[in-house]
Structure 1
């Protein structure tokens, strides 16, 4: 359906693609992977015709429709979320607009002289609209929005009142309703809660078109894709299988290339040693010349381009008392909506409690109560003895001083720290090279989140309260964070939609449901095995 034929592309001084080729066939579900800055966004722009390769061709079969979702959703205002989604439904959307226009014209007294023409055209357009399933369009749009956790009120309200994250869901719903021949999805799993993520997973598995997507959620990718295209060093390499299989194959290929490189290096060293030893002897002149020519003709094997997995040894957290957080008789409501009523809960030392619940169940509210940024209407929230808390939430990014660079922000937070140690910390969280000198005001939301996380973990508290800590983290940084937190000896209370993160770190589950809270001993994996569901909002 789409073929990239020997494309080359340069962005400033950076060579993104060098005579690279790949193909996307009907029914393939492909994960596009590669390090940050490798050219994934540029590739999407070329596939949609918004950019062109410097050399080579991007070939799209005639008549193939392409739907593209990106993080840049543009302006949305003046219409309901349902109308916004229906507007992206392709031909059926424009036909619906013509139907509405014809209806208005037939009711206009000034158009009476054209009534026969209008009625005839209305019949033709209406037949086409029915053929395309137009009358079911609104119900389908509502079904998709409901899958992405929209309430009826949010569906019918002005889309301008929605937050940026919810507008992204509207933009994603528009592409899903369109059901094009080819879907290009750039980080569709961002800004979704666990229930929406699992719904999207099932939707994409049932989609019969071709799919090319990026995602920082390995579990999400593993369950959908059947092929991986990797961008690395200007080349496009295809692997059949899911993300886990790609990792295995890439590691195997690296091992084989390393072994081949080492064998060639040993051979070259041997030949060079012979040449150096006998180059001054006339009796060996012909042999020396022969070996010199042989070395000149050898195709040199390059060592594998390894992505450095940066790790950081975080300091141990100080010990707290056995009872870390205690909630007794807590009640909390927002307007008419009751979040908690007589809620009792205790978090003990070294527990890693993940909080699950559908939208509006009170997950973030619980973290705010524990962090002290919100107060209960009645009841008490008490921290135990010697508890030093670190709270990560999206609003924490607003506290960064925009005039300070990343390096200066770290130095301000830890004036006595070794500069080399702070640079190593910054590198762990994706600020390498000149990026450490970026001003905080120009950082993206994801970069700000990484910086706040780095500052919190350098001198770790003994209670971590984390609200969606993996949002915007790439796979490598996420793996580093999981590895660091696996060694963390303090207590954790956290909300996350990343199932790999949940399974790797939780040892207790608090499930918030309309019937009340339920506590499960054992981590997220045991919770899924016991309940048969991955999220409370999906329970039948």
Structure 2
């Protein structure tokens, strides 16, 4: 269906692909993995025809349709979200837009003299629309938007008024409504809450086309893919199975390669020692010459490529009192929308609360109240004695000084720390080599999130309040963070849509629902077992 044959690609001085080959067959669902900057987006752009390889070829079978969702969403406005999504369905979308314009024209008294022509054109457009089964398209578009978390009001509102994250969802809905033969999905799980993520997971699991996708959410990938294509050092390697199986196979292959490398190095050392010892002796000239030729012919085994992962170890956090946070009789509303009415919530030392709730249930608001970055309308928020709080919020990334480099930003926060300690810290959070000299203004969302997290955890507070801490983090950094936080001895209150993160770190669940607040004594895994659902807004 899609074949990449001996492709080569270079961006500036960087070699992205060297004689790389892979394929995607009909019905295959493949995950594309590799370190940041390995060339995942470049590969998508070559398959979709937006870029060409320098060498080799990308071939797509005749008649195969491709839908490509990327993180680069253009500006859109002037249409409703529903109409914008239907635009992706070809002529029906255009007819829908024209019908909306003609309906506005019919209601415009200034155009009364054109009314006969407008009504006639409207009849023609409506007939074409019916012929193409357009009325069911509107229902299908709304079904996809509903799955991705849109209210009816948002579906009918101007798409231009939506935030960047919601515009991403519109772009994703557009591709899903197309139902192409091949879906290319570049991080579709970003910007989704847990309910939308699970809806998308179920949609893709039953999708009858082929899928090639990247995702930083390993649980999401595990449930969808049956093949992994890895990009590493310019090569493409395919593994059959899900992400967990790929990791196991990769570890076994690395171990075998390391053993082969060490055996060969030992053999080479012996041969070289013999040559060095006897090269000056005429009596051994033939043997020396024979061994030199033998060495020249040997295929050298390379050392396995090291994944750059640095373990982060917490300094011990100072001990807090038993009562960490106490919220009593909290009322909170935004305009006419009541978020909380009489909320009571108690956080004790070493509890790790994850907060679950549908969009708009008040998850981030609760964190803001605890962090004192928002005030309740009524009631009280008390933070316990000896509590040192660290608050990670999405807007924290906007507060970085764009003119400072990564290392300067760390120095500003920790003037007493030595250079080597700060460089190690930067390395733990994925900044290696020259990357620590990057200015903050050029950092990606993921890099900014990693830098803010590094600052938060270097001198650890004993109470961590985290709002979607894994947004933008790649799987490797996320694993490092989970490992580090599982050894953390302080108290945690967090919101996350990453089920692996939720299951690994929570020991309490606070569920916010329209019917009220529910607490669960176990963590997220126990919550799923006891409720039979993975999120408050969905029932399995």
For residues 109 and 161 of structure 1, do their structure 2 counterparts lie closer, same or farther at Cα, with a shift above 3 Å needed?
A: closer
For residues 139 and 385 of structure 1, do their structure 2 counterparts lie closer, same or farther at Cα, with a shift above 3 Å needed?
A: same
**Which residue number corresponds to residue 528 of structure 1?**
528
> In the alignment, is residue 431 of structure 1 matched against residue 431 of structure 2?
yes
SS in 2 for 1:9: strand
Q: TM-score, normalised by structure 1?
A: 0.95
Indicate conservation of the 8 Å contact 1:96/1:129, yes or no. no
Q: How far did residue 98 of structure 1 move?
A: 7.3
Indicate conservation of the 8 Å contact 1:3/1:58, yes or no. yes
Which aligned pairs between 1:407-446 and structure 2 lie closer than 5 A? Answer: 407-446=407-446
> In the alignment, is residue 238 of structure 1 matched against residue 238 of structure 2?
yes
**Which residue number corresponds to residue 351 of structure 1?**
351
**Which residue number corresponds to residue 17 of structure 1?**
17
> In the alignment, is residue 129 of structure 1 matched against residue 139 of structure 2?
no
Indicate conservation of the 8 Å contact 1:105/1:118, yes or no. no
**Which residue number corresponds to residue 226 of structure 1?**
226
> In the alignment, is residue 277 of structure 1 matched against residue 277 of structure 2?
yes
Q: Distance in 2 between matches of 1:233 and 1:450?
A: 24
**Which residue number corresponds to residue 250 of structure 1?**
250
For residues 76 and 268 of structure 1, do their structure 2 counterparts lie closer, same or farther at Cα, with a shift above 3 Å needed?
A: same
For residues 127 and 313 of structure 1, do their structure 2 counterparts lie closer, same or farther at Cα, with a shift above 3 Å needed?
A: closer
Q: Distance in 2 between matches of 1:104 and 1:332?
A: 40
**Which residue number corresponds to residue 286 of structure 2?**
286
Indicate conservation of the 8 Å contact 2:503/2:525, yes or no. yes
Q: How far did residue 312 of structure 1 move?
A: 2.1
> In the alignment, is residue 87 of structure 1 matched against residue 68 of structure 2?
no
Tell me the alpha carbon deviations over residues 315-348 of structure 1, each in whole angstroms, 9 at most, x when there is no partner: 1110000000001111111122211111111100
> In the alignment, is residue 478 of structure 1 matched against residue 478 of structure 2?
yes
For residues 274 and 167 of structure 1, do their structure 2 counterparts lie closer, same or farther at Cα, with a shift above 3 Å needed?
A: same
Q: Distance in 1 between matches of 2:69 and 2:242?
A: 22
Tell me the alpha carbon deviations over residues 511-540 of structure 1, each in whole angstroms, 9 at most, x when there is no partner: 111111111111111111111110011138
Q: Indicate the larger mover: 90-99 or 259-268.
A: 90-99
SS in 2 for 1:533: coil
Which aligned pairs between 1:489-504 and structure 2 lie closer than 5 A? Answer: 489-504=489-504
For residues 283 and 418 of structure 1, do their structure 2 counterparts lie closer, same or farther at Cα, with a shift above 3 Å needed?
A: same
SS in 2 for 1:4: strand
> In the alignment, is residue 399 of structure 1 matched against residue 399 of structure 2?
yes
For residues 292 and 196 of structure 1, do their structure 2 counterparts lie closer, same or farther at Cα, with a shift above 3 Å needed?
A: same
Tell me the alpha carbon deviations over residues 398-419 of structure 1, each in whole angstroms, 9 at most, x when there is no partner: 2222221111111011000011
**Which residue number corresponds to residue 28 of structure 2?**
28
SS in 2 for 1:223: helix
Indicate conservation of the 8 Å contact 2:309/2:430, yes or no. no
For residues 111 and 236 of structure 1, do their structure 2 counterparts lie closer, same or farther at Cα, with a shift above 3 Å needed?
A: same
Q: Distance in 1 between matches of 2:423 and 2:76?
A: 40
Indicate conservation of the 8 Å contact 2:83/2:96, yes or no. no
Q: Distance in 2 between matches of 1:379 and 1:216?
A: 39
Q: How far did residue 49 of structure 1 move?
A: 1.1
For residues 236 and 388 of structure 1, do their structure 2 counterparts lie closer, same or farther at Cα, with a shift above 3 Å needed?
A: same
Indicate conservation of the 8 Å contact 1:188/1:215, yes or no. yes
> In the alignment, is residue 316 of structure 1 matched against residue 316 of structure 2?
yes
Q: TM-score, normalised by structure 2?
A: 0.95
Tell me the alpha carbon deviations over residues 125-167 of structure 1, each in whole angstroms, 9 at most, x when there is no partner: 456403xxx2201111111111111111111111111111111
Q: Distance in 1 between matches of 2:328 and 2:16?
A: 57
Indicate conservation of the 8 Å contact 2:95/2:125, yes or no. no
SS in 1 for 2:132: helix
SS in 2 for 1:3: strand
Tell me the alpha carbon deviations over residues 423-477 of structure 1, each in whole angstroms, 9 at most, x when there is no partner: 1111222222222112222222222221111101000100000000000011111
**Which residue number corresponds to residue 60 of structure 1?**
60
For residues 329 and 13 of structure 1, do their structure 2 counterparts lie closer, same or farther at Cα, with a shift above 3 Å needed?
A: same
Which aligned pairs between 1:109-188 and structure 2 lie closer than 5 A? Answer: 125=128, 128-130=131-133, 134-188=134-188
Indicate conservation of the 8 Å contact 2:16/2:39, yes or no. yes
Q: Distance in 2 between matches of 1:184 and 1:242?
A: 17
For residues 238 and 56 of structure 1, do their structure 2 counterparts lie closer, same or farther at Cα, with a shift above 3 Å needed?
A: same
Aligned length: 536
Q: How far did residue 194 of structure 1 move?
A: 0.4
Tell me the alpha carbon deviations over residues 12-59 of structure 1, each in whole angstroms, 9 at most, x when there is no partner: 111110111111111111100000110011111111111110011111
> In the alignment, is residue 305 of structure 1 matched against residue 305 of structure 2?
yes
SS in 1 for 2:295: helix
Q: Distance in 1 between matches of 2:399 and 2:35?
A: 29
SS in 2 for 1:536: coil
SS in 1 for 2:339: strand
SS in 2 for 1:375: coil
Q: Indicate the larger mover: 66-75 or 395-404.
A: 395-404
Q: Indicate the larger mover: 231-240 or 85-94.
A: 85-94
SS in 1 for 2:356: strand
Q: Indicate the larger mover: 283-292 or 512-521.
A: 283-292
Which aligned pairs between 1:40-51 and structure 2 lie closer than 5 A? Answer: 40-51=40-51
Q: CA RMSD in A?
A: 2.4
Tell me the alpha carbon deviations over residues 176-203 of structure 1, each in whole angstroms, 9 at most, x when there is no partner: 1111111111000001000000000000
Q: Distance in 2 between matches of 1:120 and 1:81?
A: 25
Q: Following TM superposition, where does structure 1 have runs of at least 4 consecutive aligned residues deviating by more than 3 angstroms?
A: 94-113, 115-123, 125-128
Q: Distance in 1 between matches of 2:258 and 2:466?
A: 40
For residues 456 and 110 of structure 1, do their structure 2 counterparts lie closer, same or farther at Cα, with a shift above 3 Å needed?
A: closer
Q: Distance in 2 between matches of 1:284 and 1:442?
A: 62
Q: Distance in 2 between matches of 1:160 and 1:137?
A: 22
For residues 477 and 117 of structure 1, do their structure 2 counterparts lie closer, same or farther at Cα, with a shift above 3 Å needed?
A: closer
SS in 2 for 1:276: helix
